[in-house]
Amino acid sequence: MQQVAEPLESFVREMVIFPSRTDDDTPIAGFREQLFAVARDLNRIYHEERSRLQEMEKGLHMLEDSYLATVRILGFIVHAADAHTRSHLDRAHDYAVALARRVAPDLADDPILQYGSLLHDIGKLGVPEKVLAKAGPLTADEWEMMRRHPSLGGQLLRPARFLAAAAPVVEAHHERWDGAGYPRGLKGDQIPLAARIFSVADAFDAMTTNRPYREARPLEGAVTEISLEAGKQFDPVVAETFVRLYQEGEIEKLDRHELDEAASDVDSYF
């Protein structure tokens, strides 16, 4: 609309600024007035459309925020009984987004990564509680049940229109670059990039967080582990980028204390 209205208006304005070009009583003057009225109308329509568009954009952002809040709640529901894993969810998400900004900036704000990292374990809703909560080693059957959680998560999300975006990360977050992961044994580029990014963030946070059954590892040790697993468990480019991010202080900049506080705020809902 701007492309049409504004040149028209300038053209007419020029005719008005230089009225000596025409005699006010000629038919050209009448045409000029009509043209001016059309230009004014076009301008009015343009401004109305622009404010309507701004309203729609505002509504869209609100809708996106609501989606993300809903997804976050769904993710927390999976870990409702465990405050440790709830704060893990927030940190793993933030590490994944920081890593994506460096590896593939378009992915950083994409629902595949945003929703995928928050919902990665949603399939655990389909795994029996006694298996999830078991302190000792799992039997072969229990391990088999546990290994189904990525596929169960995908089945849960794919029919839901706006949540389906998360499915590629949910289904592939336990795949490994060398093909030894599960559930499908995908290898290298067969694994969606968002899942390759998330799996590094997920592993780093899991290693550096206290769990009931083991102490957290020091950050340095966890970064060394990520580096050693480049080309084995992890995409080498993604793993090396994570190591560089850490060396540049970008990972520690994500305030872990603040994130823990945010997670404990959420505790009040459970």
Q: How many residues does the chain have?
A: 270
Q: Which stretch binds Fe ion (CB under 5 A): 80-88, 93-101, 116-124, 220-228?
A: 116-124
Considering the complex, what minimum distance in angstroms separates the CB of residue 177 from Fe ion?
17
Maximum CA extent, the chain:
99
Residue 92 amino acid letter: A
Considering the complex, what minimum distance in angstroms separates the CB of residue 123 from Fe ion?
8
Could you tell me if 93 and 118 are in contact, meaning their C-beta atoms sit under 8 angstroms apart? yes
Name the residue nearer to Fe ion (CB basis): 12 or 78.
78
Size of the site for Fe ion (CB under 5 A): 1
Name the residue nearer to Fe ion (CB basis): 127 or 219.
127
Q: Token match 């870990």: residue?
A: 79
Select from 203, 166, 222 the least CA-distant residue to 91: 203
Q: Which stretch binds Fe ion (CB under 5 A): 16-24, 43-51, 118-126, 213-221?
A: 118-126
Please confirm whether the linkage preceding 183 is cis (ω < 30° from 0). Answer: yes
Considering the complex, what minimum distance in angstroms separates the CB of residue 153 from Fe ion?
8
Considering the complex, what minimum distance in angstroms separates the CB of residue 120 from Fe ion?
6
Name the residue nearer to Fe ion (CB basis): 35 or 131.
131
Give exposure, 70-79, as e/b (b: 16+ Cβ within 10 Å): ebbebbbebb
Name the residue nearer to Fe ion (CB basis): 75 or 111.
75
Q: How far is CA 78 from CA 121, 153, 208, 233, in A?
A: 7, 11, 21, 25
Q: Which of 121, 171, 175, 205 binds Fe ion (CB under 5 A)?
A: 121
Name the residue nearer to Fe ion (CB basis): 121 or 205.
121
- Nearest-angstrom CA–CA distance, 225 and 48: 57
Considering the complex, what minimum distance in angstroms separates the CB of residue 5 from Fe ion?
55
Name the residue nearer to Fe ion (CB basis): 32 or 93.
93
The footprint of Fe ion on residues 196-255 (CB under 5 A) is: none
Residue number with the smallest Cβ distance to Fe ion: 121
Which residue intervals of the chain are DSSP H helices? 2-17, 27-78, 83-103, 105-108, 111-119, 129-132, 140-147, 149-157, 167-172, 193-207, 219-228, 236-247, 250-253, 256-267
Considering the complex, what minimum distance in angstroms separates the CB of residue 240 from Fe ion?
24
Residues that bind Fe ion (CB under 5 A): 121
